[in-house]
Amino acid sequence: MPISANNTKRKSWIEVPVDSDFPIQNIPFGVFITKDDVITIGTRIGDCAIDMGALQQLNYFEGIELTDDMFMQDTLNDFISDGKKTWRLVRNRLAELFDETNPKLRDNKEHREIVIFNVKYIEMQLPVLIGDYTDFFSNKEHAVNVGKIYRDPEHLLSPNWLHIPVAYHGRSSSIIPSGIPVHRPMGQTLPNGEKTPVFGPSRLVDFELETAFITTDVNVMGENIPINEAEDYIFGMVILNDWSARDIQKWEYEPLGPFLSKNFATSISPWIITMDALEPFRAKGPKQDPAPLPYLQQKGKHNFDINLEVAIQPENSEATIVTISNVKHMYWSMSQQLTHHTSNGCRVNSGDMMGSGTVSGTTQDSFGSMLELTLGGKTPIKLSDGSERKFINDGDTVIMKGFCKNNGVRIGFGEVSTKLLPPFVRK
Ligand code: MN
């Protein structure tokens, strides 16, 4: 079935601002609360949020097999469970409906008023109930940079790194959408030169610039997914900020990996950009040397050309972009990550989320964390208000954005924007 929603020539009867992340070629999926306090599944074109629950009630999805309340839910999990064919039918239908040549909804004022809201008046929610969250470590530049700070110079990469998409199991309970502030975590750290640890606010709160993919029901327990099928189980992607407390991380991470240094918060952008929408932006990944074991070998383009940036906005001041990177740098592809994840029979369900790992480029201005940008806090970054940052200060807002562009079409992710608050104080 063709992805007619990707037609680059198509224009919408909804006005789309120049350089919007959400032209009619995007058609992402999300969950929002309308100003009438109704929660619904929806999409977005330009600055208009579109209530898909209302569209379904008004019969605009006629002919597509969907349960009656499919879009009147507070998560996308059931829709995602319906599989790739349904996602494509629905996205194609939305593209048709909002095509400038289609009068059906365009010329029905009463329906338009029920279905379309300015994004100013909605509140985005988490798009899925995330059952399980895994965070990979799949960017070689990041792994080497972290190796330079934490490991010995002879062995910057751990011996397994070129053979396994390394990951840890994260915590889904602290995943939040853009806009929800985060408290600076308390935790146990070992001060430099000391022999006994202390407990207190983390002094080294950092972001990690990542993307994440969201899966449909992948397998039954015990079953593995071959590499050439893995992409069929990936619904779409978001931008992810893997908040990290470096001083807590350094003290706790051996021998089992990150724990409380990471699970106090993980922020994501609220619109899921489908893999169908990202299809025109495929890119070849870096050459893998040594060749991975056969179960992880793949040919063709399995990376995606997604531009990423991070800005820091101090309280009452303007934002400064501190890094610009691109997802095409990832060493391990999403299909390799998912195949590896199920290779032992681990079950992966609809709504599970897999983080990419920090996306760093090859140069100092393209690194995906403050740890790397400031060489572990040694070389501070200057912001446009003249202040300096080694890590993130209380009151700072970290803003991550992502977009793809080619053949005159630009689609984007919107943003994930999160303010860091002082430590929580119990009243
Ligand atoms: Mn991470």
For the stretch 204-223, pLDDT in tens is 999 999 999 999 999 999 99
Residue 181 is encoded by which pair of tokens? Answer: 């502030």
- What CATH topology corresponds to 133-421? Fumarylacetoacetate hydrolase; domain 2 (3.90.850)
Q: What integer is the mean pLDDT of 118-147? A: 96
Q: What integer is the mean pLDDT of 72-83? A: 98
Q: How confident is the model at residue 227 (pLDDT cuts 50, 70, 90)?
A: very high
Q: Within 224-331, where are the H helices?
A: 246-252, 275-278
Q: Domain-by-domain residue ranges, the chain?
A: 4-124, 133-421
Is 372 within 8 Å of 145 (Cβ atoms)? yes
Question: Annotated binding residues for substrate, as ranges?
Answer: 137, 151, 249, 253, 358
Residue 90 is encoded by which pair of tokens? Answer: 């629905």
Q: What integer is the mean pLDDT of 77-88? A: 98
Q: Residue 1: pLDDT above 90?
A: no
Tell me how far the alpha carbon of residue 125 lies from the centroid of ligand 1, in angstroms: 22
**Counting Cβ atoms within 10 Å, is residue 55 exposed (0-12), middle (13-18) or buried (19+)?**
buried
Is 370 within 8 Å of 383 (Cβ atoms)? no
Tell me how far the alpha carbon of residue 305 lies from the centroid of ligand 1, in angstroms: 20
Count of positions (residues) in the chain: 427
Is 310 within 8 Å of 319 (Cβ atoms)? no
Nearest to 368, CA basis, from 88, 139, 214, 93: 139
Amino acid type, 238: V
Tell me how far the alpha carbon of residue 207 lies from the centroid of ligand 1, in angstroms: 9
Tell me how far the alpha carbon of residue 268 lies from the centroid of ligand 1, in angstroms: 12
Active site residue 163: no
Is 116 within 8 Å of 49 (Cβ atoms)? yes
Q: Are strands 244-245 and 273-274 parallel, antiparallel or unpaired?
A: unpaired
Q: Residue 149: pLDDT above 90?
A: no
Q: Mean pLDDT over all residues of the chain?
A: 97
Q: What per-residue confidence (pLDDT) applies to 425?
A: 93
Provide the percentage of residues in the chain whose pLDDT is more than 70: 100
Tell me how far the alpha carbon of residue 122 lies from the centroid of ligand 1, in angstroms: 30
- This prediction has a pTM of 0.97
Nearest to 356, CA basis, from 179, 165, 210: 210
Superfamily of domain covering 4-124: Fumarylacetoacetase, N-terminal domain (2.30.30.230)
Tell me how far the alpha carbon of residue 169 lies from the centroid of ligand 1, in angstroms: 11
Question: Annotated binding residues for Mg(2+), as ranges?
Answer: 242, 262, 266
Catalytic choice (111, 142, 163, 169): 142
